[in-house]
Structures are given as structure tokens and as C-alpha cells.
Amino acid sequence: MSIRQTFFYIVVLLFVGCSGITMLNQKKDDLYSEKFIQQIEQVKNLFRQGQADRALSTLKQIDDSVLLPTEKASRRNLMGVIWFSKDSYEQAIYNFDQALTTSSLDSALTSQVHLNLASSYFKLGNYEKAYSASLLVDAENLPEADKRKHFRILYRIASELGRDREVVLSLIHYLSDKKSINDLKTDPLFEKLSLSFSNLDSNSRLKVLQEFENKKFFVVGFLGFSEAERLYYSSSRDEANSIIRWILQKFDDSSELKDLSEGLQQRALNLSRMNPEVIGVILPLTGDKKSYGQRALVGIDSMLREAIKENPRFANYKLVIKDSEGSGAIGALRIKELIEKESASLVIGGLFSNEAEREYLEAKRNGILFVSLSQIYIPKEMKDHLVVEIPGSIESQINMLFKQDSIKNLGKRASVLYPKGPRGEAIVNEFWRKAHSLGVEVIDVLPFDENQTDFREVVRNVLGLKYPRVRQEEYDILNDIFNIEEARGTRRLQVLPPRVDFDWIFVPAFPKEALQIIPSFAYYDAFNVKFIGGPSWRSKAISDESTKLGELFLLGDDIESVDESFSNAFLADYKRRPRLIEIVAHDALSIAIGLLKDSTVESRIDLDRKVRSTEFLSGKSGKWKLEEGVWIKEMALIKLRNGKYEKLVL
């Protein structure tokens, strides 16, 4: 806990009732006199005004001999709080110890004094004494806000002492108010909980779950699911089923835990049914998207030829190709067919994002690895290690954007203009999460409608040109100075100057929208803005206009990553150069074969273990690394200058 956090915590105790006086409305009138209440209120007012010395002096002037026992304790506790705020921790501890000698009639006050003692010992680095003081806190006697502070301090102390079990118990209590997977995974301390929980041995993990079996904490149910999943893959089916039954009974009102648990049961049925030499492929082979599906098949064929040339045994691999008909719903049905009828080891599919989501969720439900040919626009917490997004997921892009070297190059104040809909929501959720965890200040987060053709209104919002009341005086002055006149042509005189209070703005728009959004900034006299886009900005349309658009960056694959030898071999076989779809499809099969060629991979459990233990997946377009349970592609920050794309060396 930082000094600032601890000071805030101790001040909250002062104002919210560290002296115990706030309990007067709960039949504690006999513990505190009206005169004493008035005296303490005077002290609190002085402290609020920053007059700590006067507050302390006033407390010392109160005649201790005429006070009731709880009043004596309250006075000493308050003195300790003030000494703590002055960084005099020994003095604070002395007063807290004195408070405990007469606080026994007020259990809430006693718990808060022990909490203050723990905080003081923690500041002195005496973690053993801090831990002992924390154990004496009766959390049930604390207000909800103070309970969380107690468990956070206990977690910090247990971490310093290396006590994983106590870390787990304290963080479970701390996160007990979370109601969804998203709530859990957006709290930075959940990662600490997961790590400490996994560090416990199997028996200790089960004992933790048993300790909370009568509590309906969502976090406990989620940890239970994680343990059941671990048990399934270690062939301890009976124990896993026992936990799953408990989750389904205890958390029957949680659709998320129900879906996870039932999905695990379904996966268990498919664990043994797998042929490692059968690979499923789902592509749109009829309808409007037929030509794209056929191009993807060419990319897959090119990789298969390459593999067979390297090792003839790959000729034994069977590719079972299914037509999605351009529909995610049909694609999901094809997934089921590939598992039940063909015992496919994994599936390559999702050529378009609207198909990829439905196909992946069906693959996930059945515990089968899905290699997606496009991005999947769902929240990060819905993804796992059994999905690889070949073009680079949203998480991969944001990961690159918020690397320390990127931030150093771009700046620590950011804004984002995102498209409405699932894609935009997935982007902005991950953007917020990363910014929060890395201390990047987010200035504006605004949506735009991709169906619009005029984006000036949303750009006005970003630039503070809606004439909010706080800028009205500035506007009136400038309006008088300029005496607005109609300008000739389309150029206009901007009266109120734009407010560019961000270092860069992320605009994950497709080229068509980007070419309308970016000029709108110049329309309002906002020049020298750093714009950052996604991989789609590597397009001829953007490149051709780049000299007029200012400082442009994009997040994409390393432009040097596709070697010339591959391109030449492809040209020799197919009489044309490979384009993006062919390269993505080639990489998909390359990753699939790379995982399946290991002779130890005979069942779905083996493949799952192989995926989890693989450090990197590699393809022509880059590398993927498993981070926080999802595959993150190594991407590059690329600058567009004079129509040319240059990778920034960070």
C-alpha cells in the first residue's frame, strides 16, 4: 500500500468513524456522552482543515479522568490516527495500544483499532506484528468499505510474508462483491489471486473451496471451475464432477458459471474422441463470399504442399472441408459435425468475424482448438488458450499499443474514437483495462456510427467544440474579435480554438471511415494530431492520401515478416503472389501441423497440454505467445510516411 493510499485509508477511518462514535445510532448512546461527541466533532473539523497539530492539542486537553472507558479508547484511537497522518508510526502505535485497554465495550471500535495497528506496523515493515494485529480484526464489525480495506491490507501483509494461503483467503474476501467474470478480470488483484491459488497444492485448493462452501461468492465459484478444469485434465474425473455439481447447485442463478460448468462437462465427453491426423476446415464455399473461401483454400493447400515436401508422413493428414455458406450459425453446426462424425483434432475457420464468433463459441463448448482466420469480437474473458486469431486479436493490438516503448514514443495521454457495436465494445473494454493498469490517462472515449458519412459532430466532441459552459466566456471573446464572416469555398474560420489535450488518439476505423474522420480534425483547425489505426490501415486508399492526413501510425504485422522465398514458391505453384487471405490461411495450417506433429499428441487432453506448454506459435506473419490465458500476437507499431510504411524501432 502506498503512503498516499494508507493516508487516505486512515483519514477515511477518521471521518467515517474510526473513533467508534458513528455507532451512536445503533443503541450505543450509553457509551458516549453528548459533550464528548461535540469535542470530537471539533477535533475532526480541525483535522479536515489541515490543522493536525491543533487537533492533537485539543485532544490532549480533554480530561481523561472524567471520560467513560469507550471515550478514552476513542480519544486515544483518534490521537493515533493523527500521529499516523504525520508519519509518526511509533507514536500512533502507542496510542492505538492504549485505546485497546478500554475499548472492549465497543466491538466496532476495537476492530478498527486493530486495523489501524496493522496498518501502522505494515508501514514500519514489521509484517509479523502487522499480521498478528490483522488476525484480531473482526471483519463482521466493520462497515463494508472498511472490510475491503482490511482484506486488502491483510493481502499485502501475507504477500510480504510469502503466505499463499492467507493471500488467497484475503483476496477472496476482497473480491467477494464481484458478480461476473468481467468484474473479476478487470480487477488487477484477481491475477494475484489466480497465481496464489494455483501455487497451493491440490489438497489446499480443495480446503479453500470447502472453507467458503456456505458463502455465495462468485469468485469462489469461478475458482471452483478452474480447479474442476485442472482436475479433468489430470484425469481426476470424480473430484472434478463433484465440484461441478456443487457449482451448478450453489450458483444456480449465475448463467456464466452454469455455462462454464456445463461446457466443461461437454468437453469431458469429447476428450477421448480425437484423431490427431484429422483437421477440420470451415470456409464459405458458396454464396457471395465463395471467392474468399477459395483463396483461403489455396493458402491452406500451399502449406500442406510445403509440409509434405519437408516430411512425406504429412501426406497422411486428412483435411475435412465443410461449407459454412457464409453463416456463423451453419458454421457452428459444422463444428459439431467435425467433432462427432470425424473426431477432428482441431478446426480452422472463421474467415469473417461474424462467422468466427459463433464457430469459436461452439468449438470452446466442446473443448476443441479453433484457429481463426479473422478477429473475434468478444470480451477477453470469454476467450481462452484454445483459440488462436491469426490476424492478431484485439488484445494483441492493444498490447502493442500500451507497451512501455510505445507509450514512451506516443505519450501518456490518450483518447479513443471507436465504432459502435460488438467490435467497438471489445476494443474499448481492452483499451480501458490496459490504460488503467499502466497509468495512461484516458482523456476521451467516444463512439461513432460506421453508417454515417459525416463525422464532424463526434470530432467536435473530441476537440471540446460543443461550446460547453466552461468555455463560453472564451468563445464570446473570440467571437467578438473575429466577427465571423462566411468564408469563400468550403474553408471556414474556426472561432473557438480546438482543445487537443491528448498526446494521441486511437481510431480503430476501417479505411473508408478513417478517410472521413481524420480530415474532420483539420476542418476544425486541429493539426499535428497523432492518429493510430488498426491493421486495415495498411491499404492503398490510406497510403494514397497519407501526405494530406498528418501523422499516421498503425498496429499491424511486421512488414518484413513474409519472406521472399515463400512468395516466390507460391508464385511458381499458383501463378500469382500470395495476398493477405492466402498468408493467413497458410499460417493457420502451419500452426495446426506444428502442434499435431508431436508424437505424444494422441488425445484431446494431450493436445490441450501441448497448447498450454508451448512457449511460441510461429507463422509467416509473426509469432503468438500465451499471456494471461490468451494467445497474443507480436505486432509492430508502424508509421505511414509519404505513402510508405516504416516499422518503428522501439
Over residues 542-562, the pLDDT tens digits come to 988 888 888 899 998 875 656
Instruction: Specify the pLDDT at position 35.
Output: 84
Asked if the model's pLDDT at residue 223 lies above 60, the reply is yes
Q: Which of 48-57, 501-510, 570-579 has the lowest mean pLDDT?
A: 48-57
Q: Average pLDDT in the 165-176 region? A: 94
Q: Average pLDDT in the 604-632 region? A: 91
Query: How far is CA 389 from each of CA 177, 203, 529, rounded to the nearest angstrom?
Result: 33, 36, 31
Sheet holding 344-349, edge to edge: 318-323, 275-283, 344-349, 369-372, 387-389
Sheet holding 630-633, edge to edge: 616-619, 622-627, 630-633
Q: Are 369 and 347 in contact (CB under 8 A)?
A: yes
Residue of higher predicted confidence among 52 and 15: 52
Q: What is the CA radius of gyration of the chain?
A: 31
Highest average pLDDT, of 2-6, 477-481, 643-647, comes from: 643-647
Asked if the model's pLDDT at residue 64 lies above 60, the reply is yes
Instruction: Specify the pLDDT at position 96.
Output: 92
Kindly tell me the sign of the dihedral angle through the C-alpha atoms of 271, 276, 277, 278: positive
- Identify any residues that bridge with 347 across adjacent strands, giving them in sequence order: 280, 370
Taking residue 411's Cβ as centre, other Cβ atoms within 10 Å add up to 14
Sorting pLDDT into bands at 50, 70 and 90, what band is 473?
very low
Residue of higher predicted confidence among 104 and 23: 104
Instruction: Specify the pLDDT at position 549.
Output: 84
DSSP, collapsed to helix, strand or coil, labels residue 645 as strand
**Residues across the chain:** 650
Task: Encode pLDDT of 292-339 as tens digits.
Answer: 999 999 999 999 999 999 999 999 999 999 999 999 999 999 999 999
Highest average pLDDT, of 103-117, 345-359, 468-482, comes from: 345-359
Helix crossing, 164-174 with 202-211: angle to 10°?
30
Taking residue 337's Cβ as centre, other Cβ atoms within 10 Å add up to 14
Instruction: Specify the pLDDT at position 41.
Output: 83
The β-bridge relationship of strands 504-506 and 530-533 is parallel
Asked if the model's pLDDT at residue 463 lies above 90, the reply is no
- Identify any residues that bridge with 551 across adjacent strands, giving them in sequence order: 530
Q: Report the percent of the chain where pLDDT is more than 90.
A: 47
Instruction: Specify the pLDDT at position 561.
Output: 56
Instruction: Specify the pLDDT at position 465.
Output: 63
Task: Encode pLDDT of 572-583 as tens digits.
Answer: 999 999 988 999
Instruction: Specify the pLDDT at position 21.
Output: 31
Asked if the model's pLDDT at residue 273 lies above 80, the reply is no
Instruction: Specify the pLDDT at position 650.
Output: 55
Look up residue 487 and give its DSSP letter: P
Q: Average pLDDT in the 522-538 region? A: 87
Residue of higher predicted confidence among 142 and 269: 142
- Residue 231 has φ and ψ, to the nearest 5°, of -65, -40
Which residues have a Cβ under 8 Å from the Cβ of 176 and sit 6 or more positions away? 215, 217, 219
Task: Encode pLDDT of 423-443 as tens digits.
Answer: 898 899 899 888 888 888 988
Q: Average pLDDT in the 481-510 region? A: 65
Highest average pLDDT, of 61-75, 224-238, 473-487, 591-605, comes from: 591-605
Instruction: Specify the pLDDT at position 488.
Output: 42
- Residue 337 cell numbers, joined: 459435425
Give 480: exposed, middle or buried? Use CB within 10 Å, 0-12, 13-18, 19+: exposed
Q: Are 138 and 113 in contact (CB under 8 A)?
A: no
Element (H, E) at 243: helix 237-250
Q: Report the percent of the chain where pLDDT is more than 70.
A: 89
Q: Which domains does the chain carry?
A: 3-162 (1.25.40.10), 223-270 (no CATH), 272-389+563-614 (3.40.50.2300), 396-463+498-556+639-647 (3.40.50.2300)
Sorting pLDDT into bands at 50, 70 and 90, what band is 9?
very low
Taking residue 195's Cβ as centre, other Cβ atoms within 10 Å add up to 12
Query: How far is CA 218 from each of CA 145, 212, 407, rounded to the nearest angstrom?
Result: 19, 11, 35
Q: Are 318 and 279 in contact (CB under 8 A)?
A: yes
Taking residue 612's Cβ as centre, other Cβ atoms within 10 Å add up to 12
DSSP, collapsed to helix, strand or coil, labels residue 38 as helix
- Identify any residues that bridge with 117 across adjacent strands, giving them in sequence order: none
Q: Average pLDDT in the 604-614 region? A: 90
- Residue 22 has φ and ψ, to the nearest 5°, of -65, -10
Asked if the model's pLDDT at residue 482 lies above 70, the reply is no
Instruction: Specify the pLDDT at position 598.
Output: 87
Average pLDDT value over all residues in the chain: 85
Residue of higher predicted confidence among 23 and 396: 396
Instruction: Specify the pLDDT at position 272.
Output: 62
pTM above 0.85, yes or no: no
In the chain, the amino acid numbered 129 is: K
Look up residue 497 and give its DSSP letter: P
Instruction: Specify the pLDDT at position 316.
Output: 92
Q: Which of 407-411, 478-482, 500-504, 587-591 has the lowest mean pLDDT?
A: 478-482
Q: Average pLDDT in the 603-624 region? A: 91
Instruction: Specify the pLDDT at position 100.
Output: 92
What per-residue string of b and e applies to 557-570 under the rule 16 or more CB within 10 Å gives b?
beeebbeeebeebb
